[in-house]
Structure 1
């Protein structure tokens, strides 16, 4: 019987024109959860939903090697980084990341984030207005580098924060945005490589257990130190995602504004349960990652689809997080849906699915949640502000996306 095949000669332009909804649009058109289309000159299978995610994260069926295009490696991930690894080598590298992102370390980072937010109030009170997204990037860059043990002069905070953000902004871009991301990665890698080499030569003392120290001394499965560039790439893969949480913080502020009743509930949230629910709903409701890619490890058939060895497969993250079979009234913002949520590892996938210890789910998911909680608590409990007239729309075509204005605050006052 087979599965629907999109009739277009190549869907690359359609993907750029439809963004986050590219896969969902075709699921709706063909009344299916799976279809095949031509993208960038090759036949690609696209699928969505919880059952698809379970298949996608089966390491016997899929591998990440060869899935991330070079243009994404040269901007977002770094070349040959952990996201491109499989098998024992991937698990070995992943254990390092997990050791850095334990609950105590998550809490330490969230406290640093709170400290840096509070340090911003004095500047904000005398400013006509601030752009929250821009401020968040710098707050998170300061906190991430302090937490990771990476030396960062105040004079270079904006440049480093912008570089980390530009790498993320480039993943779905062509033209100037893409090249800006490439230049940002080159600068960041050179900066971190020099720091790694100075740690190894003894010129910089790195605290035991810090991300800087652990990457500087990390050895691969063969017992060899990572070369300084690869160590830098992986340290950036610790720092960059923390700065990227600025997007979720901007969307959190948008949610507070669009759904004012939630702000009152957060103010009266004595046990932190509503704060947790609100953060999870922001991660589900607003667009972050559009889809994920992997290549078929060995040929198999699933749901009438023939998955050929080496074939590229895309899992619809945004569509799965808005799947009406999994989420009642998915286009409404309802934090309470997470009150008694007992979901699987495959139905809520804003940062990937599966087990983070053995698979490719983001090991920093706990960090994202704790940093968002600390940031929301600051916005709700530490300051008052006004939202002036501005463009609060966000595009589902642009990948990644953001409120158009970046969330402008005016008349900021400490409580």
Structure 2
């Protein structure tokens, strides 16, 4: 007699151990083969192959985005987003499926690649979700639009898919769901109503000056001095122009100028990353940044600097009523003790654009996959974007798939 062991995904749904093993292998494959934002060609092809093997048709959207539509009779339409891109990080986890891949950035630079934010877990869970819904049609009714979205790390992907006619080519959903792995306890779900992430904006600032010999500063307009004054003054926006209760961050991440110590250069360039909690704070901070950059340039008798937008992240807002439905389902499936009222962090996310673009609710949550020992007086696990970030593979599949299934069934479940 053959005994089939099972794994519990939710309080009412078990799957064979072999199912989990299959999607652990999927996860490990994805982890070992990351690609840069906007270059997810092999990832997209792999997703299409997996979907085709399940008998699910799909189409490309936004070049490297993949969309699949699962129908099971009459009922609501729900969208579910999984992001697909990796990061330019040299992996140091020591895992036997670590990435040794490299990629080429837009400037031609070759960089190491890693799924350092866990998007591999998101794709594996979404593919497992698709397989479950194909096999267990008695659980649900309606239509699920699966969105495998590229370019989340650069705020490129959601906008690219919407611009490429996503909601003209796929059924318009009543709600769009998304999830993200975090360095939290295995099985923990983090969700709240309202803003789930901050708005984010990145700019490149080019300060123009006048080149001269280092011994003749009077013949120059020194762009380094002007840019340095801007960098210092920008830090006063949060401390002196916003209320202490308003969380915001202004970071200057790069600063480049000159080629030789005895030449005052003609230009200086620096990049700014801004995180704000809401649209009003965003408008106030960005206006203050422009004002300071312009004023400091004028104080140095320099021309007006050039500001180039690198990227801008939309809001990620959880609709209260839709979020209530998801929380109720999570509570039924995992118990109230599994849920945490997620604090508003300073991370950013572009999933909200998929729902905001068509004026429907969105719900976004996070899940943990790490052993509790990390949080019991031991060293905390490495976080997202770290070269040591390593969600436990089996937990990533079980928790990620279980949360995805529960969230979807909050709207499509027959019960």
TM-score norm. by structure 1 comes to 0.28
Q: Which has the higher helix share?
A: 1
Give the number of the structure whose residues are more often strand, by fraction.
2
Question: TM-score, with normalisation over the residues of structure 2?
Answer: 0.28
Larger radius of gyration: 2
